[in-house]
Structure 1
Amino acid sequence: MSSLNKRKIEIGNIPAILWGDTSDKIYIFVHGKGSNKESAHKFAIIAVEKGYQVLSFDLPEHGERKNEEYKCNVFNGVQELKIIWSYVEKNWKSINLVGCSLGAYFSLIAYKDCSIGKCLFQSPIVNMEHLIGKMFKWFKVTEELLREKREIATPIDILSWDYYCYVKQHPIIKWNVPTSIIYGTKDNLQSPSVIEDFVKRFKSKLTISVNSEHDFHTSKAEEEVIQWLNKYI
């Protein structure tokens, strides 16, 4: 494709990009931590060629929203994914999903009761309690200390007692969407057993990328992602 049609829009106060020519089928693209709506570009090239449109948007504290005093936490993230869903549901017949890392986690909570055609997850956080437990070990934090302090800053993110309680009270127990996952063997945020448990429980398709890290940053890893997308979009 020589050029990719894209249009900047706002959904409520959420900056978004609509990629591709008019179609009755679409992918909602939910980026991960530290990314933005523009990161959907490579995905959109492939999806648009296959007849889909793609809607990507900036999560709180990301992209055009970096300076907002509105936290990118599970409470705000899930609420905004529901706003995006309401917009998409009114305008497209066939709705599909792609989520990266934290974006996958928000999606699993926000969209568990939604009618989604198919789903692709790259390096998904499927068990946030597991990840927070890892952070406890990495940064020598205990549950008791977090309860006392309420918030503890770490080099990765701020650990929050309210967030931790929400995560413990909302495990991922429902997901009825045909799902394909790509996961790197050097992903240090979710252990292989956690991913395998999710795949088994929800009958997902798993593609293992040997020696790839969470962010799939090498050219070889990026090429594996492209091959995976071409196969499952």
Structure 2
Amino acid sequence: MKNAVIYIHGKSGNTEEANYYKKFFSDEYDIIGFAYKSELPWDTKEEFPKFFDFIAPQYGKIFLIANSIGAYYAMLSLADKPIEKAMFISPIVDMEKLILNMMAWSNVTEEELHKEKVIKTSFGETLSWEYLSYVRNHPMNWHIPTNILYAENDNLTSLETITDFAHKLGANLTVMNNGEHWFHTEEEMAFLDNWFKAFL
């Protein structure tokens, strides 16, 4: 029986990105890009497990690669699934803190967001009271063996936040100096390749 690697992209990403990771795996593995539709955490709680439960019986071991908010969605919805190992690239590990930071960047108070319900920011994100409330009421409970790749200049998650998360989880944390949230430059991808080979 073959094994599977499920790839979950981040915001504005796509399933084609999964092909990049084929070079790390033998022919015994199928690399599957998950074309999810959900943009809200409560939707992922339905869509992600349904997809996993469809895929899992066809394979022996299941590995997970997830990027940015894709990692957050995975941790929120797949924590009780039989995943052998997870490889997270620039994961969002504290969504509440990220939302509060975006509110601060936009000078929006909790009272204002509660009253308005939805507020559009100048940098293209939409703040939602329902989203913030959901995140607070549904903390993650992730215990799957995980390796994390983080960039020093990640503008969405602080080094302190990711370090604290990795410590609590017992995850391996690798930090790339001068890297940014979106790994895409030649230097960043070379670093990612070396990290992947070391921890796979």
TM-score (norm 1): 0.81
State whether structure 2 residue 34 is matched by structure 1 residue 57: yes
Q: CA deviation at 1:50?
A: 6.6
Which amino acid in the other structure matches residue 58 of structure 2? N
Which gives a bigger RCO, structure 1 or 2 (Cα 8 Å, sep 6+)? 2
Report what 2:95 is aligned to. Answer: 128
Give deviations 1:152-199, integer Å, cap 9, x for gaps. Answer: 112232111111101011222x22211000000000101111111111
State whether structure 2 residue 53 is matched by structure 1 residue 86: yes
State whether structure 2 residue 9 is matched by structure 1 residue 31: yes
Report what 2:131 is aligned to. Answer: 163
SS of residue matched to 1:93: coil
State whether structure 2 residue 186 is matched by structure 1 residue 212: no
State whether structure 2 residue 85 is matched by structure 1 residue 118: yes
Gaps of 5+ in 2: none
State whether structure 2 residue 111 is matched by structure 1 residue 144: yes
SS of residue matched to 1:112: coil
Q: CA deviation at 1:217?
A: 2.5
Which amino acid in the other structure matches residue 34 of structure 2? F
Report what 1:42 is aligned to. Answer: 20
Please say if residues 101 and 122 of structure 1, whose CA atoms lie closer than 8 Å, have aligned partners that are also in contact. Answer: yes
Tell me how far apart the structure 2 counterparts of residues 46 and 194 of structure 1 sit (CA, whole Å). 29
SS of residue matched to 1:131: helix
CA RMSD of aligned residues (A): 1.4
Give deviations 1:190-228, integer Å, cap 9, x for gaps. Answer: 111111111111100011100000002221011101111
Which amino acid in the other structure matches residue 54 of structure 1? I
TM-score (norm 2): 0.94
> Which structure has the highest helix share of the two?
2
Q: Matched residues, percent identical?
A: 33
Give deviations 1:2-24, integer Å, cap 9, x for gaps. Answer: xxxxxxxxxxxxxxxxxxxxx52
Give deviations 1:29-62, integer Å, cap 9, x for gaps. Answer: 1100010101112112323x373211112232xx
The number of residues matched between the two structures is 199
Gaps of 5+ in 1: 1-22, 61-70
Please say if residues 151 and 175 of structure 2, whose CA atoms lie closer than 8 Å, have aligned partners that are also in contact. Answer: yes
2:151 paired residue among 175, 184, 200: 184
